A and B are shown apart, each in its own frame.
Chain A
Amino acid sequence: MSANDVVIGISDLSTRFGDTWIHRHVNLDIGRGEMVALVGGSGSGKTTLLRQMIGLLAPTQGSIRLFGEPLYGGGVERERGLRRRFGVLFQQGALFSSFSVYDNIAFPLRELRTLDEELIHDLVMLKLNLVELLPRHALLMPAELSGGMVKRVALARALALEPELLLLDEPTAGLDPDRSDNFVRLIRVLGKELGLTVVLITHDLDTLTALASRVAVLGDQRILAFASLDEVIHIDHPFIRNFFLSERSRRPLNSN
């Protein structure tokens, strides 16, 4: 993988909260076009790592580079430009509750301050279509949406600025299996069509097997494994055994 193709480069990252070390010397390079699932037990620092990737938390030591550029420094304009190159889907959707669905998706576009309302309208309607929502849904408020619709609108908003990188925190948590399957299919199709690099955190093996081209396992404060699913399940480690090879988890793996 050439340096140009590394979308997220994490080198020698350590994180400490109070007296507890969450990560020690974590190294991880995610290449363009990959769909990487970040898995790990509760408290293994998955969400922390994701928040560090998007610059919401600064690591105690080490550095993270997005698209080969450092996350911080270089002035407000550069940081803003960098932040516009990725989209984030938060676990609860994080829709602005005082905006309608339309305004939620239009918000990042309006923030560019160069697009006219007609172009924004076309873009919003296209994104709504992409996430398989109807035009009449655009007028609803977030409080009136079901859980699955909230996720879809949040995905549409994350995609509004045509990001190259999409980060998903528990994309299918709180959805019923049917909706969860639909949503996973949607992400896979969109990821392929738009050529996205996708990083997702998930506990759900169905989601993992359906989406991830590679799996990064977090545990013991480091990356235990970073490889394709087939290789990861053959690694002998208590967490990996429990996570992938328990009775409950065999079904999705076998059916794949």
Chain B
Amino acid sequence: MTVPSIKILTGADGGRKVLLAGRWTLNMLTPLLDSLRPALAEQANAGEVTWNCLDIEALDSAGAILLWRAWQRRLPGLLLARPEQLRIFEHLEDTDRRPPAHAVPHSPFEAAITIGGGALRFWRSLVDFITLIGQLLLVALHLLRHPRDMPWREISATLFKSGVLAMPVTALVGFLIGIVLSYLSSLQLKQFGADIYIVNILGLGIIRELGPVLVAVLVAGRSGSAMTAQLGVMRVTEEIEALATMGVSHSLRLVFPKVLALGVVMPLLVLWATAIALIGGMVSAQAQLDISYGFFFDTLPKAVPVVNVLIGLSKGLVFGILVALIACHFGLRVRPNTESLSANTTTSVVTSITIVILVDAVFAIVTRQMGMPE
């Protein structure tokens, strides 16, 4: 492999010749670009010279472009070249002749357009979301009249994937949170000698607040993202369109089972995670404050009225439905490219968690009169 080289000869008649040799290919040129470019430019600006390309072993388009630019984008007056080399220069000439593409000019109202576009997108997203809920209501009505269309298989698959498989992780997180909460509270309670109130704090805090929110956040990250990605890829690979052509409604077969199953399974997960978290708290309370398990069990129903459990479970139901709805909504909005898929999955999880916490606040206000111990 010979490196590209430039040789300058002065002929007997005083005319100068530039002799190019070697392999003028992308591979060979890249290390030498910085030295070749000025050398070529110098020759090109030096007035009348003859360019001899006949000794070039190989010329690819990168090499040709390098020469082309040195020649200020036109063939020099005196050029010796082989026909196949000339053809590359013809291509370049042709490329230059074509009208350049114009980028869309910047508008002076860029800011207004950005804000307006964002608002419109949000509005459209909201309308789509409401449409989705409407479709689900229609599906529910349809299923009441035609119970045989019930997508049992999909429902049970979602129950298993989002429910059973989520049990270990919710248990682990619940248990650890229970221990931490109990430990931190007991440090404070000890100072006031109010040890037995640990049961109230743990009971109310976990059953009513922490359990449902914790599970909702975990499920939004675990199942919500999976649902968005699944629907998104189905959109990319046109599977949803294929379903539609077979007369199968995607809201019945894909969205409805997810929403229903998550609505069923979330309260159960809340119950499960709450129980484990209470056990974690109980273990920690026994170790820190010497409160026996028997006392804990006896005091819990008195300290925490049973309506709190119902509040926790209904939060689970609402959060489950919301997480599934949001996940499906963003999944169906995916456009056929990878960027859109990742953006929608992120938005889906972030929106789910935000909405869950917002709705939790609403719950707190609505139920403020209920479930406090006398």
A51 at the interface (CB under 8 A from B): no
A230 close to chain B: CB less than 8 A:
no
Taking the nearest CB of chain A, how far is it from the CB of B64, in angstroms?
A: 8
Number of chain A residues whose Cβ lies closer than 8 Å to a Cβ of chain B: 31
B101 adjacent to A97 (CB under 8 Å): no
Please pick, from B33, B87, B103, the residue contacting A115 in the complex, using a CB distance under 8 A.
B33
9 contacts between A and B (CB under 8 A): A96-B338, A97-B336, A115-B33, A122-B68, A128-B95, A135-B99, A136-B101, A139-B101, A193-B84
C-alpha gap A96/B337 in the complex (Å): 9
For A193, give the chain B residue with the smallest CB separation: B87
A-B contact count (CB 8 A): 70
Report whether A135 and B98 are in contact in the complex, using a CB–CB cutoff of 8 Å: yes
CB of A141, distance to nearest CB on chain B (Å):
7
Over the window 94-116 of chain B, the binary record of Cβ atoms lying under 8 Å from chain A Cβ atoms (1 yes, 0 no) is 11001111010000000000000
Residues of B within 8 A of A125 (CB): 95
Which 8 pairs show the lowest CB-CB distances between chains A and B?
A97-B337, A98-B339, A136-B101, A162-B60, A135-B101, A129-B95, A114-B30, A162-B26
Chain A residues within 8 Å of B91, by CB: 126, 129-130
| Complex: chain A residue closest to B343, CB-CB | A98
Q: Main SS of the interface on chain A? A: helix
Q: Which of A84, A98, A142, A194 lies at the interface centre, i.e. has the most chain B CB atoms within 10 A of its CB?
A: A98
| B286 CB–A CB distance under 8 Å | no
Task: Quote the shortest CB–CB distance from B84 to chain A (angstroms).
Answer: 7
**B103 and A162 form a contact (CB under 8 A):** no
- Which residues of chain A are within 8 angstroms of B150 by Cβ–Cβ distance? none
Please pick, from B31, B61, B98, B338, the residue contacting A98 in the complex, using a CB distance under 8 A.
Answer: B338
A134, B100: Cα distance in complex, Å: 9
Contact pattern, B 24-40, Cβ under 8 Å of A = 1, otherwise 0: 01110011010000000
Supplied contacts A129-B98, A194-B60, 7 more A-B pairs, CB within 8 Å: A85-B27, A115-B30, A119-B65, A123-B61, A126-B95, A138-B101, A141-B337
Q: CB distance A97 to B65 under 8 Å?
A: no
Q: Are B25 and A162 in contact (CB under 8 A)?
A: yes
A245 within 8 A of B: no
Instruction: Collect the chain A residues with CB atoms within 8 Å of residue B95's CB.
Output: 122, 125-126, 128-129
In the assembled complex, the CB of A157 is this many whole angstroms from the nearest CB of chain B, namely 14
Which chain A residues in 91-119 approach chain B with CB under 8 Å?
96-98, 112, 114-115, 118-119
B359 contacts the other chain (CB 8 A):
no
Task: From the candidates A136, A138, A142, A162, name the one contacting B337 in the complex (CB within 8 A).
Answer: A142
- Tell me, in angstroms, the Cα distance from A194 to B30 when the chains sit together: 19
A161 interface residue per 8 A CB criterion: yes
Is there a chain A Cβ closer than 8 Å to B62's Cβ? yes
Q: Are A119 and B62 in contact (CB under 8 A)?
A: yes
Verify if A235 is at the interface (C-beta below 8 Å from B). no
Whether B65 and A134, one on each chain, are in contact in the complex, defined by CB atoms closer than 8 angstroms, is: no
**How many Å from the CB of B240 to the closest CB on chain A?**
16
